[in-house]
Structure 1
Amino acid sequence: MKWNRFIKENALHLSWVVALVATLGSLYFSEIMRFLPCKLCWYQRILMYPLVIILGIAAVRKDTKQYLYVLPLSVWGMGVSLYHYLMQKTSWFKDGATACGPVPCDVDYIDWLGFITIPFLAFVAFTLITIIHILLALAERKR
């Protein structure tokens, strides 16, 4: 019972912080570090940036039904970022990397600890938002 209450009270704020950090991180990489985003990075941005606004409004209004709008964006974002990460780190999708445009999708601008790349960070953010909103949906159903 305490878990459901915690999720209902904090899920929107937590997921908003995750989306905001991811958005600010992507802007930092492109605007400060001057890393040019590839086509898949743009798709991930298209899915993440609106979440900052949607989740911010939902948190202020305490609209716990917002998971209906958030989950499609976050699940699609997980898929795109996972595909992008696999393109960078495996040979499975390497052929598609050069079709991404002027910036190939398999470029590793960062490679922390041998596995943390920009698409990995995006995948973690989308996954956290997805998990938080699945828990929120379950807490709402138990109501």
Structure 2
Amino acid sequence: MTNHEIEERNSWWLLLAWMIAVAATLIALFVGEILGQAPCNLCWFQRVFMFPLPIILGIAAFRADSAIRFYALPLVGIGAAIAAFHTLIYFGLVEEAITPCTRTGPSCAGEAMTILGTVPLPLASLLAFAAIGGLLFLCRAGVYR
């Protein structure tokens, strides 16, 4: 592959990653601000790691800059780890004694924590982080001769 072909392919992966990050951010804002469902502590931490991604991935997609993965992957990895833990709590796989989101604030186990009554918000967040991370791993550096 030539450098141009690699850059073109990378720009598509980055564009898809950006679109996922924008969608996840808009959904989180819609659920919190429009539907009025206050986020729990773990939701806030996931937002901290998701909300910068549309900005930095958008710039990287515009510039076809595959080096963004070095900056974005730490955000994605930490956000995914929090989302994975949150998903375990949602499905009851973590003991109640260490559940951080039901002591104060909203509960993560209610029907209000789903998208269209089916997909739990913590799982949707985990899937978004995983998809973004996967797309960033598909980005490759250019060929140097």
TM-score, normalised relative to structure 1: 0.84
CA positional deviation for 1:32 = 1.0
Task: Answer with 1 or 2: which has the greater Rg.
Answer: 2
Equivalences, count:
141
Using the alignment, how far apart are the partners of 2:99 and 2:76 within structure 1? Answer: 23
Match of 1:95 in 2: 97
Match of 2:141 in 1: 140
Using the alignment, how far apart are the partners of 1:71 and 1:55 within structure 2? Answer: 11
Match of 1:47 among 39, 44, 49: 49
Match of 1:63 among 61, 65, 83: 65
Match of 2:74 in 1: 72
What is the one-letter code of the residue matched to 2:141?
A: E
3-state SS in 2 of match to 1:12: helix
Classify 1:118/1:132 alpha carbon distance in 2 versus 1 (closer, same or farther; 3 Å): same
- Identity over aligned residues, as a percent? 32
Q: Which structure is higher in helix share? A: 1
Using the alignment, how far apart are the partners of 2:43 and 2:23 within structure 1? Answer: 16
Match of 2:130 in 1: 127
Match of 1:118 in 2: 121
CA root-mean-square deviation: 2.5
CA positional deviation for 1:98 = 4.8
TM-score, normalised relative to structure 2: 0.83
Unaligned runs of 5+ in 2: none
Match of 1:85 among 66, 84, 87: 87
Per-residue CA deviations over 1:51-97 (Å, capped at 9, x if unaligned) read 01111111122211100001011111111001001101024243222
Classify 1:142/1:61 alpha carbon distance in 2 versus 1 (closer, same or farther; 3 Å): closer
CA positional deviation for 1:8 = 1.4
Match of 1:21 in 2: 23
CA positional deviation for 1:108 = 4.3
Unaligned runs of 5+ in 1: none
Using the alignment, how far apart are the partners of 1:94 and 1:115 within structure 2? Answer: 23
CA positional deviation for 1:126 = 0.2
CA contact (8 A) 1:64 1:140 kept: yes
Match of 1:32 in 2: 34
Classify 1:92/1:142 alpha carbon distance in 2 versus 1 (closer, same or farther; 3 Å): farther
